[in-house]
Copies of this chain bind each other. A is one copy, B any other.
């Protein structure tokens, strides 16, 4: 078995919601906003390419989940390409995620057979467009060589190929205190970033571009749910999960096992593989065009501040935005000696506690997004 095909582990969230329901996108309004903020970079990338209408222009969306969050961006990009190059340019959107991903919803939405919230299907609206799906992890080479003209990935590549270790005193590396554990996470993140880039280097056509929007710790130490609010999301999660240990609902071992297998790379960490001309990534033809960080306000928090209302209703609306991507991690931390129902009840209880905290002080809680916006180019 070729080495690059061995990994299939959770580099992406397991969406919390039923197959075909399109649950993920409906609960992650903020992700739309983040992707909207990437449009200027995507447009820069496209404008710097000289497209030939005799050749298909292929856009790959890595870690797409149900494809909902990138839909408005893709619509705008394709509309622009149609205006500039006319109908003659074939446009192929190649969606990538894990093999168990809900590609069915994606195909149905694009074909107009499932409702598409707040946006239209470029596939229905523009002739000469094509859509495919790929269930091969981006920690392998997902596509054939030179297949991709524009690679895109939003809020997906922070997931690591594997858990380097448990975090004994925290759930997430950003709040980890044990130096050795922090180092193992940083090392895994560095390795994964380089491997990821090496695979993309092969898939990108000469002159192709890659726009990656990814969770980070920014220059001011901000990261997801830890921006300018009084409360920090991971700190609250850690504290409440520990409370369940103290009251005897879960064990200390389960607390330790509950570890987010992801990493929020800093600008320095993102830039590292590009610094040295003789690095594998540079030798593979990739260079870093730009990287910047940006905070995207939590839309739930903003709505509360704007509209106010019933704090309990707000909390019920807010919690799912923290739960879609984290639910699986909490479940997987629990002992397999517990039944599935028991596990679910514990995680329900946990999120209920979090919900009560949010309801008690809505203005103090938010899940603001902090991203690096990364623009990479492959040599001609």
Is A135's CB under 8 angstroms from B103's CB? yes
Q: Which residues of B contact A2 (CB under 8 A)?
A: 126-128
How far is B123's CA from A8's CA once the two chains are assembled, in angstroms?
13
Roughly how many angstroms separate A147 CA and B2 CA in the complex, as a whole number?
26
Tell me, yes or no, whether A145 is within 8 Å of chain B by CB: yes
Contact in complex: A99, B123 (CB < 8 Å): no
Query: Is B100 a contact of A144 with CB atoms below 8 Å?
Result: no
A132 touches B132 (CB 8 A): yes
Contact of A132 among B5, B94, B108 (CB under 8 A): B94
Contact A111 B135 (CB under 8 A): yes
On whether the beta carbons of B100 and A5 are closer than 8 Å, the reply is no
Q: Which B residues are CB-close (under 8 A) to A23?
A: none
Q: Is A327's CB within 8 Å of the partner chain B?
A: no
Residues of B within 8 A of A85 (CB): none
Question: Is A130 within 8 A of B136, CB to CB?
Answer: yes
Closest-by-CB residue of B relative to A94 is: B132
CB distance from A232 to the nearest CB of B (A): 37
**CA gap between A352 and B146 in the complex, in Å:** 54
Cβ of A204 under 8 Å from chain B: no
Asked if A125 is at the interface of the complex by the 8 Å CB criterion, the answer is: yes
Chain B residues lying within 8 Å of A128, measured Cβ to Cβ, are 2
Cross-chain contact A99 with B124 (CB below 8 angstroms): no
A8 to B114, CA, bound (A): 13
- Flag A90-134 by CB within 8 Å of B: 1 or 0 each: 101010000111011001100101000000000111111011111
CB <8 Å contact, B130 and A8: no
Q: Choose among A124, A132, A145 the residue with the greatest number of B CB atoms under 10 Å from its CB.
A: A132
Question: Smallest CB–CB gap between A19 and chain B, Å?
Answer: 8
Measured between alpha carbons, how far is A102 from B126 in the docked complex, in Å? 27
Question: Does the CB pair A111–B5 fall under 8 Å?
Answer: yes
* Closest partner residue, chain B, to A56 (CB atom): B144
Residues of B within 8 A of A103 (CB): 103-104, 133, 135
CB-based contact B130/A133 at 8 Å? no
* Most chain B CB within a 10 A radius of its CB, from A5, A101, A126: A5
Q: How far is the CA of A144 from the CA of B123 in the complex (A)?
A: 13
Please determine whether B1 and A124 come into contact, CB atoms closer than 8 angstroms. Answer: yes
- A90 CA / B108 CA spacing, docked (Å): 30
B108 touches A100 (CB 8 A): yes
Q: Does A143 lie at the interface of the complex (its beta carbon under 8 Å from any beta carbon of B)?
A: yes
Cα distance, A123 to B6, chains bound together (Å): 11
Q: What is the bound-complex CA distance between A101 and B107, given in angstroms? A: 10
**In the bound complex, what is the Cα–Cα distance between A94 and B92 (angstroms)?**
13
The reply to whether the CB of A257 lies closer than 8 angstroms to some CB of chain B is: no
**CB <8 Å contact, A134 and B136:** no
Q: Which residues of B contact A64 (CB under 8 A)?
A: none
| Any B CB within 8 A of the CB of A70 | no
**A111 CA / B130 CA spacing, docked (Å):** 25
Residue A142 interfacial (CB < 8 Å):
yes
Q: A141 in the interface, Cβ–Cβ < 8 Å?
A: yes
New contact pairs (13) apart from A5-B111, A130-B147, CB-CB < 8 Å: A56-B145, A92-B143, A92-B144, A92-B147, A99-B104, A99-B108, A103-B103, A103-B135, A111-B135, A111-B136, A130-B141, A131-B134, A131-B136
A binding-site residues for B, Cβ under 8 Å: 1-2, 5, 8, 19, 56, 58, 90, 92, 94, 99-101, 103-104, 107-108, 111, 113, 123-128, 130-136, 141-147
Q: List 15 A-B contacts (CB under 8 A).
A: A8-B111, A56-B144, A56-B146, A56-B147, A58-B144, A92-B147, A99-B104, A99-B107, A130-B134, A130-B141, A130-B143, A130-B144, A132-B133, A133-B133, A133-B134
